[in-house]
Structure 1
Protein backbone atom coordinates (compact mmCIF):
# COMPACT_ATOMS: atom_id res chain seq x y z
CA UNK A 1 0.00 0.00 0.00
CA UNK A 2 0.98 3.66 -0.20
CA UNK A 3 1.45 5.46 3.11
CA UNK A 4 0.94 9.26 3.15
CA UNK A 5 3.91 11.02 4.79
CA UNK A 6 4.77 14.73 5.18
CA UNK A 7 6.77 14.85 1.92
CA UNK A 8 4.53 12.63 -0.23
CA UNK A 9 4.03 8.87 0.00
CA UNK A 10 6.15 5.82 0.75
CA UNK A 11 5.59 2.14 0.09
CA UNK A 12 4.43 -0.28 2.75
CA UNK A 13 3.22 -3.83 3.34
CA UNK A 14 -0.13 -4.18 5.12
CA UNK A 15 -1.40 -7.44 6.65
CA UNK A 16 -4.72 -7.90 8.42
CA UNK A 17 -6.04 -10.80 10.50
CA UNK A 18 -7.78 -13.42 8.41
CA UNK A 19 -10.95 -15.35 8.97
CA UNK A 20 -9.22 -17.99 11.07
CA UNK A 21 -8.14 -15.48 13.74
CA UNK A 22 -10.29 -15.72 16.84
CA UNK A 23 -12.39 -12.67 17.58
CA UNK A 24 -13.82 -9.89 15.49
CA UNK A 25 -12.38 -6.49 14.59
CA UNK A 26 -11.27 -4.04 15.69
CA UNK A 27 -7.79 -5.38 16.50
CA UNK A 28 -4.69 -3.65 17.90
CA UNK A 29 -2.08 -2.47 15.43
CA UNK A 30 1.65 -3.11 15.02
CA UNK A 31 4.13 -1.08 12.97
CA UNK A 32 6.95 -3.40 11.84
CA UNK A 33 10.33 -1.73 11.21
CA UNK A 34 12.52 -3.68 8.79
CA UNK A 35 16.22 -4.42 9.23
CA UNK A 36 19.10 -3.05 7.16
CA UNK A 37 18.14 -5.32 4.23
CA UNK A 38 14.92 -3.38 3.72
CA UNK A 39 11.32 -4.44 3.11
CA UNK A 40 12.36 -7.96 2.11
CA UNK A 41 10.31 -11.13 1.90
CA UNK A 42 11.44 -11.86 5.46
CA UNK A 43 10.10 -8.50 6.67
CA UNK A 44 6.80 -9.18 4.92
CA UNK A 45 6.58 -12.65 6.47
CA UNK A 46 7.12 -11.15 9.92
CA UNK A 47 4.37 -8.61 9.24
CA UNK A 48 2.05 -11.40 8.09
CA UNK A 49 2.79 -13.37 11.25
CA UNK A 50 1.70 -10.47 13.44
CA UNK A 51 -1.54 -10.35 11.44
CA UNK A 52 -2.06 -14.09 11.89
CA UNK A 53 -1.73 -13.51 15.65
CA UNK A 54 -4.57 -10.97 15.63
CA UNK A 55 -2.94 -7.61 14.89
CA UNK A 56 -3.37 -5.20 11.99
CA UNK A 57 0.27 -4.92 10.91
CA UNK A 58 1.98 -2.40 8.64
CA UNK A 59 5.64 -2.37 7.58
CA UNK A 60 6.70 0.94 6.01
CA UNK A 61 9.54 0.86 3.49
CA UNK A 62 12.08 3.31 4.91
CA UNK A 63 14.07 3.00 1.66
CA UNK A 64 11.28 4.31 -0.57
CA UNK A 65 13.04 7.51 -1.60
CA UNK A 66 16.03 6.32 -3.61
CA UNK A 67 18.82 3.83 -4.14
CA UNK A 68 19.71 1.27 -1.50
CA UNK A 69 23.13 2.64 -0.54
CA UNK A 70 21.93 6.24 -0.29
CA UNK A 71 18.89 5.22 1.72
CA UNK A 72 20.87 3.06 4.14
CA UNK A 73 23.22 5.94 4.87
CA UNK A 74 20.47 8.51 5.39
CA UNK A 75 18.30 6.21 7.52
CA UNK A 76 21.22 5.27 9.76
CA UNK A 77 22.10 8.95 10.17
CA UNK A 78 18.53 9.64 11.25
CA UNK A 79 18.60 6.72 13.70
CA UNK A 80 21.82 8.04 15.23
CA UNK A 81 20.39 11.57 15.46
CA UNK A 82 17.04 10.38 16.80
CA UNK A 83 15.13 12.47 14.29
CA UNK A 84 14.43 12.78 10.60
CA UNK A 85 12.15 11.48 7.87
CA UNK A 86 12.40 7.83 8.98
CA UNK A 87 10.83 8.75 12.31
CA UNK A 88 8.19 10.77 10.45
CA UNK A 89 7.50 7.65 8.37
CA UNK A 90 6.97 5.55 11.50
CA UNK A 91 4.64 8.16 12.98
CA UNK A 92 2.70 8.23 9.70
CA UNK A 93 2.39 4.44 9.67
CA UNK A 94 1.11 4.52 13.25
CA UNK A 95 -1.46 7.16 12.32
CA UNK A 96 -2.63 5.15 9.30
CA UNK A 97 -3.19 2.09 11.48
CA UNK A 98 -4.87 4.00 14.32
CA UNK A 99 -7.34 5.57 11.89
CA UNK A 100 -8.44 2.28 10.34
CA UNK A 101 -11.91 1.05 11.32
CA UNK A 102 -10.52 -2.46 11.91
CA UNK A 103 -7.93 -1.14 14.40
CA UNK A 104 -8.59 -0.29 18.05
CA UNK A 105 -6.26 2.70 17.88
CA UNK A 106 -3.71 1.11 20.21
CA UNK A 107 -0.56 0.54 18.19
CA UNK A 108 2.73 -1.12 19.08
CA UNK A 109 6.05 -1.11 17.24
CA UNK A 110 8.40 -4.03 16.53
CA UNK A 111 11.79 -3.68 14.89
CA UNK A 112 14.69 -5.89 13.86
CA UNK A 113 18.40 -4.97 13.90
CA UNK A 114 18.42 -1.37 12.62
CA UNK A 115 14.64 -1.47 13.03
CA UNK A 116 15.10 -2.52 16.64
CA UNK A 117 17.03 0.70 17.23
CA UNK A 118 14.13 2.66 15.77
CA UNK A 119 11.66 0.72 17.92
CA UNK A 120 13.61 1.69 21.05
CA UNK A 121 13.74 5.40 20.23
CA UNK A 122 10.10 5.39 19.09
CA UNK A 123 9.02 3.79 22.40
CA UNK A 124 8.59 7.29 23.83
CA UNK A 125 6.79 8.66 20.77
CA UNK A 126 3.17 7.63 20.89
CA UNK A 127 3.33 3.84 20.70
CA UNK A 128 1.64 1.69 23.35
CA UNK A 129 4.29 -1.08 23.41
CA UNK A 130 7.67 -1.69 21.78
CA UNK A 131 9.43 -4.92 20.76
CA UNK A 132 13.04 -4.32 19.68
CA UNK A 133 14.92 -7.36 18.41
CA UNK A 134 18.70 -6.93 18.82
CA UNK A 135 18.32 -3.20 18.48
CA UNK A 136 21.25 -0.87 19.21
CA UNK A 137 20.72 1.35 22.22
CA UNK A 138 20.22 5.08 21.57
CA UNK A 139 23.39 7.18 21.81
CA UNK A 140 21.40 9.51 24.06
CA UNK A 141 19.72 7.28 26.62
CA UNK A 142 17.35 10.08 27.58
CA UNK A 143 15.43 8.91 24.50
CA UNK A 144 14.08 6.20 26.80
CA UNK A 145 12.49 8.74 29.15
CA UNK A 146 8.73 8.21 29.11
CA UNK A 147 9.03 4.98 27.11
CA UNK A 148 6.06 2.68 26.70
CA UNK A 149 6.36 -0.95 27.93
CA UNK A 150 9.26 -2.72 26.18
CA UNK A 151 9.83 -6.40 25.36
CA UNK A 152 13.37 -6.79 24.01
CA UNK A 153 15.31 -9.77 22.68
CA UNK A 154 19.08 -10.12 22.20
CA UNK A 155 21.60 -12.83 21.37
CA UNK A 156 24.36 -13.70 23.80
CA UNK A 157 26.73 -14.34 20.88
CA UNK A 158 25.96 -11.04 19.16
CA UNK A 159 29.45 -9.55 18.76
CA UNK A 160 28.07 -6.10 17.88
CA UNK A 161 25.77 -5.66 20.88
CA UNK A 162 27.66 -7.17 23.80
CA UNK A 163 26.14 -6.03 27.09
CA UNK A 164 23.23 -4.25 25.38
CA UNK A 165 20.56 -6.43 27.00
CA UNK A 166 21.88 -5.86 30.52
CA UNK A 167 22.28 -2.12 29.90
CA UNK A 168 18.77 -1.79 28.50
CA UNK A 169 17.32 -3.72 31.43
CA UNK A 170 19.16 -1.39 33.81
CA UNK A 171 18.00 1.78 32.04
CA UNK A 172 14.36 0.69 31.83
CA UNK A 173 14.35 -0.38 35.48
CA UNK A 174 15.75 2.99 36.54
CA UNK A 175 12.90 4.71 34.69
CA UNK A 176 10.18 2.42 36.03
CA UNK A 177 9.25 1.25 32.52
CA UNK A 178 7.47 -2.15 32.43
CA UNK A 179 9.76 -4.43 30.49
CA UNK A 180 10.85 -7.94 29.60
CA UNK A 181 14.45 -8.08 28.36
CA UNK A 182 15.95 -11.49 27.51
CA UNK A 183 19.37 -12.42 26.16
CA UNK A 184 19.50 -15.86 24.53
CA UNK A 185 22.97 -17.28 25.34
CA UNK A 186 23.43 -19.38 22.19
CA UNK A 187 21.91 -16.95 19.68
CA UNK A 188 23.74 -14.39 17.57
CA UNK A 189 22.62 -11.27 15.76
CA UNK A 190 19.57 -11.57 13.45
CA UNK A 191 18.47 -14.80 15.14
CA UNK A 192 14.81 -14.12 14.30
CA UNK A 193 15.35 -13.29 10.62
CA UNK A 194 15.20 -15.84 7.81
CA UNK A 195 16.86 -15.11 4.48
CA UNK A 196 17.34 -17.15 1.25
CA UNK A 197 19.88 -19.99 1.32
CA UNK A 198 23.04 -18.26 -0.03
CA UNK A 199 22.47 -15.19 2.16
CA UNK A 200 21.83 -17.36 5.21
CA UNK A 201 25.11 -19.23 4.61
CA UNK A 202 27.05 -15.96 4.55
CA UNK A 203 25.27 -14.72 7.67
CA UNK A 204 26.02 -17.98 9.46
CA UNK A 205 29.73 -17.48 8.78
CA UNK A 206 29.39 -14.00 10.32
CA UNK A 207 27.56 -15.41 13.36
CA UNK A 208 24.22 -13.89 12.34
CA UNK A 209 22.09 -16.88 11.35
CA UNK A 210 18.52 -17.82 12.24
CA UNK A 211 18.06 -19.63 15.55
CA UNK A 212 14.69 -21.36 15.61
CA UNK A 213 14.54 -22.02 19.37
CA UNK A 214 15.45 -18.45 20.32
CA UNK A 215 13.21 -16.99 17.62
CA UNK A 216 10.15 -18.99 18.62
CA UNK A 217 10.60 -18.18 22.30
CA UNK A 218 10.98 -14.49 21.48
CA UNK A 219 7.80 -14.63 19.39
CA UNK A 220 5.98 -16.24 22.32
CA UNK A 221 7.14 -13.48 24.66
CA UNK A 222 6.41 -10.63 22.26
CA UNK A 223 2.90 -11.81 21.41
CA UNK A 224 2.05 -12.34 25.09
CA UNK A 225 3.48 -8.91 25.98
CA UNK A 226 1.57 -7.20 23.17
CA UNK A 227 -1.61 -9.03 24.13
CA UNK A 228 -1.24 -7.61 27.64
CA UNK A 229 -0.33 -4.03 26.72
CA UNK A 230 -2.16 -3.50 23.42
CA UNK A 231 -5.43 -5.32 24.00
Structure 2
Protein backbone atom coordinates (compact mmCIF):
# COMPACT_ATOMS: atom_id res chain seq x y z
CA UNK A 1 0.00 0.00 0.00
CA UNK A 2 2.85 2.35 0.91
CA UNK A 3 4.59 1.53 -2.37
CA UNK A 4 1.45 2.37 -4.37
CA UNK A 5 1.09 5.63 -2.47
CA UNK A 6 4.71 6.52 -3.14
CA UNK A 7 4.29 5.81 -6.86
CA UNK A 8 1.12 7.91 -6.95
CA UNK A 9 2.80 10.85 -5.20
CA UNK A 10 5.79 10.64 -7.53
CA UNK A 11 3.52 10.69 -10.58
CA UNK A 12 1.57 13.60 -9.14
CA UNK A 13 4.81 15.49 -8.50
CA UNK A 14 5.99 14.88 -12.06
CA UNK A 15 2.71 16.13 -13.50
CA UNK A 16 2.80 19.25 -11.35
CA UNK A 17 6.32 20.05 -12.55
CA UNK A 18 5.49 19.63 -16.25
CA UNK A 19 4.39 22.79 -18.00
CA UNK A 20 4.28 24.51 -21.35
CA UNK A 21 7.54 26.34 -21.85
CA UNK A 22 7.65 29.43 -24.05
CA UNK A 23 10.28 31.85 -25.22
CA UNK A 24 10.73 34.58 -27.78
CA UNK A 25 13.49 33.97 -30.31
CA UNK A 26 14.90 36.81 -32.44
CA UNK A 27 15.92 35.80 -35.94
CA UNK A 28 16.55 37.46 -39.28
CA UNK A 29 14.81 37.13 -42.61
CA UNK A 30 16.87 37.00 -45.81
CA UNK A 31 15.97 40.63 -46.54
CA UNK A 32 17.68 41.67 -43.30
CA UNK A 33 14.52 42.34 -41.30
CA UNK A 34 14.67 41.46 -37.60
CA UNK A 35 11.91 38.97 -36.81
CA UNK A 36 10.72 37.59 -33.47
CA UNK A 37 9.43 34.04 -33.18
CA UNK A 38 7.47 32.60 -30.25
CA UNK A 39 8.31 28.99 -29.38
CA UNK A 40 6.10 26.76 -27.23
CA UNK A 41 6.61 23.16 -26.14
CA UNK A 42 5.70 20.78 -23.32
CA UNK A 43 8.80 20.09 -21.21
CA UNK A 44 7.28 16.84 -19.93
CA UNK A 45 7.90 15.35 -23.38
CA UNK A 46 11.45 14.15 -23.83
CA UNK A 47 13.23 14.36 -27.15
CA UNK A 48 12.15 15.75 -30.52
CA UNK A 49 8.51 15.77 -31.55
CA UNK A 50 6.67 16.96 -34.71
CA UNK A 51 6.89 20.69 -35.29
CA UNK A 52 4.16 23.09 -36.38
CA UNK A 53 4.59 26.62 -37.68
CA UNK A 54 1.80 29.06 -36.76
CA UNK A 55 1.24 32.04 -39.07
CA UNK A 56 -0.68 34.97 -37.62
CA UNK A 57 -3.73 36.86 -38.89
CA UNK A 58 -3.34 40.21 -40.64
CA UNK A 59 -3.24 41.78 -37.16
CA UNK A 60 0.35 40.53 -36.77
CA UNK A 61 2.11 38.41 -34.16
CA UNK A 62 -0.28 39.08 -31.30
CA UNK A 63 -1.40 37.20 -28.20
CA UNK A 64 -3.89 35.13 -30.19
CA UNK A 65 -1.21 33.65 -32.47
CA UNK A 66 0.95 32.94 -29.43
CA UNK A 67 -1.97 31.26 -27.68
CA UNK A 68 -2.40 28.92 -30.61
CA UNK A 69 1.27 27.97 -30.35
CA UNK A 70 0.70 27.08 -26.69
CA UNK A 71 -2.41 25.11 -27.62
CA UNK A 72 -0.35 23.07 -30.08
CA UNK A 73 2.35 22.55 -27.47
CA UNK A 74 -0.29 21.15 -25.12
CA UNK A 75 -1.13 18.61 -27.84
CA UNK A 76 2.47 17.42 -27.84
CA UNK A 77 3.95 19.45 -30.70
CA UNK A 78 6.87 21.84 -30.89
CA UNK A 79 5.15 25.02 -32.08
CA UNK A 80 6.58 28.26 -33.38
CA UNK A 81 4.43 31.33 -34.05
CA UNK A 82 6.47 33.10 -36.72
CA UNK A 83 6.69 36.78 -37.56
CA UNK A 84 5.79 37.86 -41.09
CA UNK A 85 5.92 41.64 -40.44
CA UNK A 86 9.15 42.15 -38.51
CA UNK A 87 9.95 43.14 -34.91
CA UNK A 88 6.88 41.17 -33.78
CA UNK A 89 4.69 44.15 -34.57
CA UNK A 90 0.91 43.91 -34.40
CA UNK A 91 -2.14 46.13 -34.33
CA UNK A 92 -5.87 46.17 -33.66
CA UNK A 93 -6.74 48.70 -36.36
CA UNK A 94 -7.65 47.30 -39.80
CA UNK A 95 -6.03 50.23 -41.62
CA UNK A 96 -2.68 49.43 -40.00
CA UNK A 97 -3.20 45.70 -40.50
CA UNK A 98 -3.83 46.24 -44.20
CA UNK A 99 -0.67 48.33 -44.49
CA UNK A 100 1.42 45.72 -42.67
CA UNK A 101 0.04 42.92 -44.84
CA UNK A 102 0.53 44.79 -48.11
CA UNK A 103 4.11 45.64 -47.20
CA UNK A 104 4.84 42.00 -46.34
CA UNK A 105 3.31 40.62 -49.53
CA UNK A 106 4.25 43.21 -52.16
CA UNK A 107 7.25 41.05 -53.01
CA UNK A 108 6.12 37.43 -53.17
CA UNK A 109 9.68 36.08 -53.13
CA UNK A 110 10.46 38.04 -49.97
CA UNK A 111 7.26 36.84 -48.31
CA UNK A 112 8.12 33.24 -49.19
CA UNK A 113 11.59 33.73 -47.77
CA UNK A 114 10.16 35.07 -44.50
CA UNK A 115 8.01 31.97 -44.13
CA UNK A 116 11.01 29.77 -44.91
CA UNK A 117 13.14 31.58 -42.33
CA UNK A 118 10.54 30.82 -39.66
CA UNK A 119 10.32 27.20 -40.73
CA UNK A 120 14.11 26.84 -40.57
CA UNK A 121 14.11 28.34 -37.07
CA UNK A 122 11.58 25.75 -35.92
CA UNK A 123 13.67 22.95 -37.44
CA UNK A 124 16.71 24.12 -35.48
CA UNK A 125 15.03 23.75 -32.09
CA UNK A 126 16.08 20.64 -30.11
CA UNK A 127 12.41 19.94 -29.33
CA UNK A 128 11.59 19.62 -33.05
CA UNK A 129 11.81 16.56 -35.26
CA UNK A 130 12.92 18.23 -38.53
CA UNK A 131 11.53 15.34 -40.56
CA UNK A 132 7.97 15.91 -39.30
CA UNK A 133 6.76 19.43 -40.01
CA UNK A 134 3.43 21.12 -40.67
CA UNK A 135 2.07 24.66 -40.76
CA UNK A 136 -1.22 26.27 -39.79
CA UNK A 137 -2.38 29.80 -40.50
CA UNK A 138 -5.23 32.16 -39.78
CA UNK A 139 -6.72 34.76 -42.17
CA UNK A 140 -3.62 36.25 -43.85
CA UNK A 141 -1.63 33.36 -42.36
CA UNK A 142 -3.98 30.84 -43.95
CA UNK A 143 -3.04 32.26 -47.33
CA UNK A 144 0.65 32.10 -46.39
CA UNK A 145 0.57 28.39 -45.56
CA UNK A 146 -1.50 27.57 -48.64
CA UNK A 147 1.06 29.37 -50.79
CA UNK A 148 3.80 27.33 -49.10
CA UNK A 149 1.95 24.19 -50.14
CA UNK A 150 1.56 25.53 -53.68
CA UNK A 151 5.33 26.05 -53.88
CA UNK A 152 5.96 22.46 -52.84
CA UNK A 153 7.52 23.23 -49.47
CA UNK A 154 8.18 19.79 -47.93
CA UNK A 155 5.57 19.83 -45.18
CA UNK A 156 3.48 16.89 -44.03
CA UNK A 157 0.40 19.09 -44.01
CA UNK A 158 -0.97 22.62 -43.88
CA UNK A 159 -4.18 23.90 -42.30
CA UNK A 160 -5.87 27.16 -43.24
CA UNK A 161 -8.43 28.67 -40.84
CA UNK A 162 -10.62 31.37 -42.48
CA UNK A 163 -7.68 31.97 -44.78
CA UNK A 164 -7.25 33.83 -48.04
CA UNK A 165 -7.75 31.43 -50.94
CA UNK A 166 -6.81 33.59 -53.92
CA UNK A 167 -3.22 33.60 -55.13
CA UNK A 168 -1.00 35.13 -57.78
CA UNK A 169 0.95 31.88 -58.13
CA UNK A 170 -1.49 28.97 -58.50
CA UNK A 171 -0.40 25.39 -57.97
CA UNK A 172 0.61 23.34 -60.96
CA UNK A 173 0.11 19.59 -61.50
CA UNK A 174 2.33 17.74 -59.05
CA UNK A 175 3.60 20.86 -57.26
CA UNK A 176 1.69 20.34 -54.01
CA UNK A 177 3.46 17.88 -51.73
CA UNK A 178 1.67 18.62 -48.47
CA UNK A 179 -1.79 17.43 -47.54
CA UNK A 180 -4.17 20.35 -47.13
CA UNK A 181 -7.07 21.09 -44.78
CA UNK A 182 -9.12 24.25 -45.31
CA UNK A 183 -11.56 25.36 -42.59
CA UNK A 184 -13.77 28.03 -44.13
CA UNK A 185 -16.71 30.02 -42.78
CA UNK A 186 -19.80 29.63 -44.94
CA UNK A 187 -20.75 33.26 -44.14
CA UNK A 188 -17.29 34.67 -44.83
CA UNK A 189 -17.93 37.89 -46.77
CA UNK A 190 -14.19 38.49 -47.22
CA UNK A 191 -13.69 35.34 -49.31
CA UNK A 192 -16.09 35.16 -52.24
CA UNK A 193 -17.90 32.14 -53.62
CA UNK A 194 -15.82 32.65 -56.76
CA UNK A 195 -12.65 32.43 -54.65
CA UNK A 196 -13.86 29.13 -53.20
CA UNK A 197 -14.73 27.66 -56.60
CA UNK A 198 -11.44 28.81 -58.11
CA UNK A 199 -9.47 27.32 -55.22
CA UNK A 200 -11.17 23.94 -55.52
CA UNK A 201 -10.63 23.91 -59.28
CA UNK A 202 -6.97 24.84 -58.77
CA UNK A 203 -6.42 22.04 -56.23
CA UNK A 204 -8.23 19.50 -58.40
CA UNK A 205 -6.16 20.43 -61.43
CA UNK A 206 -2.95 20.24 -59.41
CA UNK A 207 -3.87 16.80 -58.09
CA UNK A 208 -3.57 17.99 -54.49
CA UNK A 209 -4.65 15.91 -51.50
CA UNK A 210 -7.01 18.39 -49.87
CA UNK A 211 -10.16 18.62 -47.77
CA UNK A 212 -12.36 21.71 -47.80
CA UNK A 213 -14.69 22.18 -44.82
CA UNK A 214 -17.43 24.83 -45.00
CA UNK A 215 -18.67 25.74 -41.52
CA UNK A 216 -22.30 26.80 -41.41
CA UNK A 217 -23.01 30.23 -39.97
CA UNK A 218 -19.34 31.14 -39.49
CA UNK A 219 -17.92 34.49 -40.55
CA UNK A 220 -14.32 35.41 -41.28
CA UNK A 221 -12.23 35.25 -38.11
CA UNK A 222 -14.47 32.60 -36.53
CA UNK A 223 -11.67 31.06 -34.41
CA UNK A 224 -10.60 34.24 -32.64
CA UNK A 225 -12.56 35.15 -29.47
CA UNK A 226 -11.51 38.79 -29.99
CA UNK A 227 -13.12 38.96 -33.43
CA UNK A 228 -16.41 40.42 -32.20
CA UNK A 229 -14.60 43.22 -30.38
CA UNK A 230 -12.27 43.87 -33.31
CA UNK A 231 -15.20 44.13 -35.72
CA UNK A 232 -16.47 47.24 -33.92
CA UNK A 233 -15.00 50.60 -33.08
CA UNK A 234 -14.35 53.88 -34.83
CA UNK A 235 -12.93 52.06 -37.86
CA UNK A 236 -16.33 50.47 -38.61
CA UNK A 237 -15.29 46.95 -39.51
CA UNK A 238 -14.19 44.49 -40.77
CA UNK A 239 -16.96 41.89 -41.13
CA UNK A 240 -15.60 39.27 -38.75
CA UNK A 241 -17.04 37.36 -35.81
CA UNK A 242 -16.26 34.61 -33.35
CA UNK A 243 -18.19 31.35 -33.61
CA UNK A 244 -17.57 28.94 -30.73
CA UNK A 245 -19.02 25.89 -32.50
CA UNK A 246 -16.98 26.52 -35.65
CA UNK A 247 -13.85 27.21 -33.59
CA UNK A 248 -14.14 23.93 -31.70
CA UNK A 249 -15.11 21.91 -34.76
CA UNK A 250 -12.24 23.24 -36.87
CA UNK A 251 -9.72 22.64 -34.08
CA UNK A 252 -10.95 19.05 -33.72
CA UNK A 253 -10.55 18.61 -37.48
CA UNK A 254 -7.00 19.96 -37.24
CA UNK A 255 -6.11 17.60 -34.40
CA UNK A 256 -7.27 14.59 -36.38
CA UNK A 257 -5.54 15.88 -39.50
CA UNK A 258 -2.16 16.41 -37.82
CA UNK A 259 -2.36 13.03 -36.15
CA UNK A 260 -2.96 11.47 -39.57
CA UNK A 261 -0.26 13.32 -41.51
CA UNK A 262 2.37 12.71 -38.86
CA UNK A 263 1.48 9.02 -38.70
TM bin (shorter chain) = 0.7 to 0.9
Aligned length in residues? 224
- 2: distance between equivalents of 1:15 and 1:38? 18
Higher relative CO (CA 8 A, sep ≥ 6), structure 1 or 2?
Answer: 1
CA RMSD of aligned residues (A): 2.6
Task: Give the structure-1-normalised TM-score.
Answer: 0.85
Residue 63, structure 1, aligned to residue 85, structure 2:
yes
Q: Secondary structure at the match of 1:142?
A: coil
Task: Give the Å deviation of 1:180.
Answer: 1.4
In structure 2, the residue matched to 1:160 is: 190
Q: Which residue does the alignment assign to 2:54?
A: 32
Residue number in structure 2 paired with 1:221 = 253
Q: Give runs of aligned pairs for residues 102-113 of structure 1, distance below 5 A.
A: 102-105=127-130, 106-113=132-139
User: Is residue 33–residue 119 contact of structure 1 (8 Å, CA) maintained in 2?
Assistant: yes
Task: Show the counterpart of 2:22.
Answer: none
* Residue 149, structure 1, aligned to residue 175, structure 2: no
**Please, which moves more after superposition, 218-227 or 144-153?**
144-153
Distance 1:170 1:213, change over 3 A: same
Higher mean displacement: 61-70 or 221-230: 61-70
Q: Does 1:17 align with 2:12?
A: no
Q: Residue 182 of structure 1: CA displacement? A: 0.5
Counterpart check, 1:45 vs 2:73: no
* Equivalent-residue separation in structure 1 for 2:257 and 2:211 (angstroms): 8
Distance 1:96 1:151, change over 3 A: same
Query: Unaligned stretches of 5+ in structure 2?
Result: 1-24, 91-95
Deviates more, 1:206-215 or 1:163-172: 163-172
More displaced stretch, 113-122 vs 199-208: 199-208
Q: Which residue of 1 aligns with 2:104?
A: 75
Q: CA deviation at 1:178?
A: 1.4
* Structure-2 separation of matches of 1:66 and 1:222: 26
Match of 1:178 in 2: 209
Task: From the superposition, tell whether residues 4 and 175 of structure 1 become closer, same or farther in structure 2 (CA, over 3 Å).
Answer: same
Distance 1:191 1:90 in 2: 24
Residue 143 of structure 1 and its aligned partner are, at CA, apart by 6.4
Check whether the contact 2:180–2:209 (CA below 8 A) recurs between aligned residues. Answer: yes
| TM-score normalised by L of structure 2 | 0.76
CA contact (8 A) 1:110 1:132 kept: yes
> Offset of 1:110 from its aligned partner?
0.8
